[in-house]
């Protein structure tokens, strides 16, 4: 017996869609939404600066959390900004100048790429965090801070490792 055109078309349609399972995207999107909210609620508020293995930060009982700013890392070997080595510490210590020319050039370049948002930010200065090894000499730290201040990075923070204060720390026997 011959099938009509409609019957053949319906048979083809049934064969085509017969073995394919359907994916319910609504419930999948619900699962991802719940997962995103769960991760947002349970995320910790601790911000950790990326620490170079060669840098041992000084210990402190500081309570203020670090801001997300430009980080100048000072290891015993070199000065690094944004993962790039700017200048060797030995050459900086050998130089007698008050400022570090290579660091000043890099900071001026970074400042030129990001203009001030408003007048109060221009008065206060740009933010910078100096992450220095605890063995670097004070004269080097002072020259880095002077160079930062001369290039409008006047809001200077020093990165430290937080230790528990004496009230929270367990007493030694």
Instruction: Check whether residue 91 and residue 143 sit in a common domain.
Output: yes
Question: CA–CA distance from 8 to each of 3, 11, 165 (Å)?
Answer: 6, 5, 82
Residue 131 lies in a domain: yes
State which residues form the domain around 137: 59-162
Query: Is the same domain home to 37 and 66?
Result: no
> In whole angstroms, what is the distance from residue 27 CA to residue 34 CA?
11
Over residues 19-77, the pLDDT tens digits come to: 666 677 778 888 889 999 888 887 765 555 555 666 777 776 666 666 678 888 898 88
| 23 and 101 belong to one structural domain | no
- Counting other chains too, the contacts that 137-144 makes at CB distance below 8 Å and 24 or more residues apart are 137/93, 139/93, 140/74, 140/89, 140/92, 140/93, 141/74, 143/92, 143/98, 143/99, 143/100, 144/72, 144/74, 144/79, 144/100, 144/103
Radius of gyration of the CA atoms of the chain, in A: 29
Q: Which two tokens stand for residue 147?
A: 């160079």
130 shares a domain with 78: yes
- With bands split at pLDDT 50, 70 and 90, how would you rate the model's confidence at 146? very high
pTM as predicted: 0.61
pLDDT digits (tens, 9 = 90+) for 72-118: 889 888 898 888 889 998 998 888 888 899 999 999 998 888 887 77
Co-location of 19 and 95 in the same domain: no
CATH number where 109 lies:
3.30.420
User: Could you tell me if residue 50 is inside a domain?
Assistant: no
- Structural domain count of the chain: 2
33 and 109 part of one domain: no
Is 124 inside a domain boundary? yes
Kindly state whether residues 106 and 139 are assigned to the same domain.
yes
């Amino acid at each position: 017996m011959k099938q009509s055109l409609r019957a053949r078309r319906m048979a083809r349609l049934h064969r085509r869609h017969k073995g394919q399972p359907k994916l319910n995207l609504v419930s999948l999107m619900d699962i991802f939404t719940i997962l995103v909210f769960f991760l947002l609620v349970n995320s910790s508020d601790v911000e950790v600066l990326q620490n170079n293995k060669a840098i041992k930060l000084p210990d402190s009982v500081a309570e203020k959390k670090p801001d997300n700013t430009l980080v100048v890392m000072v290891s015993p070997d070199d000065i690094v900004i944004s993962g790039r080595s700017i200048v060797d510490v030995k050459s900086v210590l050998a130089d007698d100048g008050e400022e570090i020319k290579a660091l000043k050039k890099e900071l001026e370049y970074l400042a030129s790429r990001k203009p001030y948002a408003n007048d109060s930010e221009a008065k206060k200065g740009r933010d910078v965090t100096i992450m220095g090894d605890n063995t670097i000499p004070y004269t080097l730290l002072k020259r880095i801070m002077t160079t930062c201040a001369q290039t409008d990075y006047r809001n200077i923070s020093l990165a430290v490792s937080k230790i528990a204060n004496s009230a929270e720390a367990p007493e030694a026997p």
